[in-house]
Amino acid sequence: METQTLIYLMVGATFSLYIAIAIWTRAGSTSEYYVASKGVHPIANGMATGADWMSAASFISMAGIISFTGYDGSVYLMGWTGGYVLLAMCLAPYLRKFGRYTVPEFVGTRYYSQTARVVAVICVIFISFTYVAGQMRGVGIVFSRYLEIDINMGVIIGMAIVFFYSVLGGMKGITYTQVAQYCVMIFAYMVPAIYISILITGNPIPQFGFGDTVTGTDTSVLDRLNGLGAELGFTSYTDGTKSTIDVFAITMALMVGTAGLPHVIVRFFTTPTVRDARKSAGYALLFIAILYTTAPAVAAFARINLLTNVPGVAYEEAPQWIKTWENAGLIAWQDKNGDGVIQYGAGAPFAGAPQFTNERGANGERLISNAPTEAETELYVDRDIMVLANPEIANLPGWVVALIAAGGLAAALSTAAGLLLVISTSISHDLLKSNFKKDISEKGELLAARVAAGVAVIVAGLFGIYPPAFVAQVVAFAFGLAAASFFPVIVMGIFSKRMNKEGAIAGMAVGLVFTFSYIVFFKFISPELDTAEHWWFGISPEGIGTLGMIFNFIASVAVASVTKAPPEEIQHLIEDIRVPRGAGGAIAH
């Protein structure tokens, strides 16, 4: 059977499964829509959390950025992994014991202020829309290649599918859909990784193959990469170009931003008890570790395959996958010396974002508009395709290519659905019901949540069609915003009885405004200044959330110290959240 036919069958089968689950688990109440009636088993919740967590950035882009940048890309791996541990061990059980529906509701109740709640809703919307832009872009990339359609049309199709099962099923439908998506995703990621590990190192376990030697040689995988890079004029794969402070800032921003991501936090509200929340956190960590420990190996294997299988090949005789990804607008070749042969050379083929055009060269190749004339390299690759193209580069069977297509879509759709649900519930529950229409019926609130989800899908699709950067970078911005806004408020809300509403509001406002302004200035207003010499303290926009977090803490503590302490009942509530007794249950509300 042809590869394209297998792709249609695999993607069609998984989509049919997701839609069937959404219909089966249709939400009939706000409790089912917001938190799946708090009845999800820890293992199922762990798998759903893993799917929610391992977004398009993890599945599609993380290995790609590590493959392109080597050591520098490790900040994403360290930050996201460490961040989940921080969230699962230190924050999630306390938030679950608090027993609210949403993060803004926690903020509003803990800080006894509707203003704080509204500010939290604004933070949720900023963070979630920034994050979902990367997911919808990932959906478009997968659709454009595997269904052979335009990226923008792929985003629109993804919007329609996410709209159906997130609006219909709410948290209940999304949870069980994400369980299925996790199974698809992890199988799709591991099968080609095992295949390619065997081909390159002879070791069937990718994590061990990463530290093994290349088959038929005494050279390790990393030494092989460094050698290939030296031959072609690249920097060493194992040497970093980022400053120590920037590496620290990006890693910290990703880590604490993780602990402030509302769509992940809300997953811990869906279990029956606090004890089950702790168990699901442990299961999720195990499920996430399977992919995250494999990503560095996938990145290294993909780069070896790319650097050994393409250079020196005449364009007319190039592998079919190059032409296919060219047609998708994600690979380009510029024949700079006119010899008709694809060449690598000194320069930076993996730096920046190629701006692909619809123009074709004399050989029929796709061109890009921003090819640096001083660089000798001729091949330009969108870094977000490395995982998706890996099976084709390694010449694996067609069914593996179809599997990776289904897995990439599952990764992007699962997180997009979770984010859109958070946006819709924040608008319907935290804005409409708590501020503008307090007497709204449950049926009316459920309708409002679904309408809000529909509007959010449209806005998310526009972000996917006009993305500000590549997938992993967009997601890094979202984590930075979460680090600067939610993390300090949640930590101090749990562990500080002195923190009051004035301090929380001031901290969130300062952290969010500073971080957002910094990112917008360097990425959109003055991108020509986006260099280390112009950054504050040498911290890039990807890591500025760390500084925003510090400003948040300082503003919160300063304002709280000169304003009235929280009411006595709020202080008792904080003590009750932290007391170990009652770990088998939750506070009743």
295-309 and 74-86 are packed helices; what angle lies between their axes, rounded to 10 degrees?
160
For residue 194 the two structure tokens come to 């095992």
Calpha distance 3→309 (Å, rounded):
21
Which residue, among 210, 235, 189, 228, has the nearest Cα to 62 in the 3D structure?
Answer: 189
User: How far, in Å, are 5, 424, 453, 458, 482 from residue 122 at the CA level?
Assistant: 44, 12, 16, 18, 11
* Class (C level, CATH) for 3-302+397-467: mainly alpha
Calpha distance 4→321 (Å, rounded):
12
DSSP secondary structure, 318-330, as one string: S-HHHHHHHHTTS
List alpha helices for 261-368, DSSP H.
262-265, 274-292, 295-309, 320-327
Calpha distance 184→35 (Å, rounded):
24
Mean pLDDT by 10 residues, the chain (589 residues): 80 81 67 62 83 73 77 80 78 73 77 82 75 72 74 80 68 77 85 89 89 84 76 66 85 80 73 78 85 86 79 78 76 75 60 61 69 63 76 82 82 73 74 70 75 79 68 63 84 87 89 87 80 86 89 93 88 76 44
pLDDT confidence of residue 121: 80
The C-alpha angle 512, 454, 15, rounded to 5 degrees, equals 110
pLDDT confidence of residue 23: 75
Element (H, E) at 356: strand 356-360
Please, are residues 278 and 45 in contact by the beta-carbon 8 Å criterion? no
Strand, coil or helix: 220: strand
Which residue, among 346, 347, 315, 312, has the nearest Cα to 331 in the 3D structure?
Answer: 315
Q: Which residue has the tokens 């990367």?
A: 134
Please, are residues 174 and 34 in contact by the beta-carbon 8 Å criterion? no
Which residue, among 465, 432, 467, 436, has the nearest Cα to 447 in the 3D structure?
Answer: 432
Q: Phi and psi dihedrals of 74, rounded to 5? A: -70, -15
Reported pTM: 0.75
471-495 and 244-258 are packed helices; what angle lies between their axes, rounded to 10 degrees?
60
Q: Which residue has the tokens 């009743």?
A: 588
Q: Give the chain's end-to-end CA distance (angstroms, integer).
A: 57
pLDDT confidence of residue 1: 67
- Sequence ranges of the domains in the chain: 3-302+397-467
39 contact partners, CB below 8 Å, separation of at least 6: 270, 272
Q: Which residue has the tokens 């929610």?
A: 52
For residue 426 the two structure tokens come to 């924040």
Dihedral (CA of 196, 199, 205, 206) sign: negative
Element (H, E) at 368: strand 366-368
Calpha distance 397→391 (Å, rounded):
8
Q: What letter would DSSP give residue 364?
A: S
Please, are residues 383 and 470 in contact by the beta-carbon 8 Å criterion? yes
Q: Phi and psi dihedrals of 468, rounded to 5? A: -80, -15
Element (H, E) at 366: strand 366-368
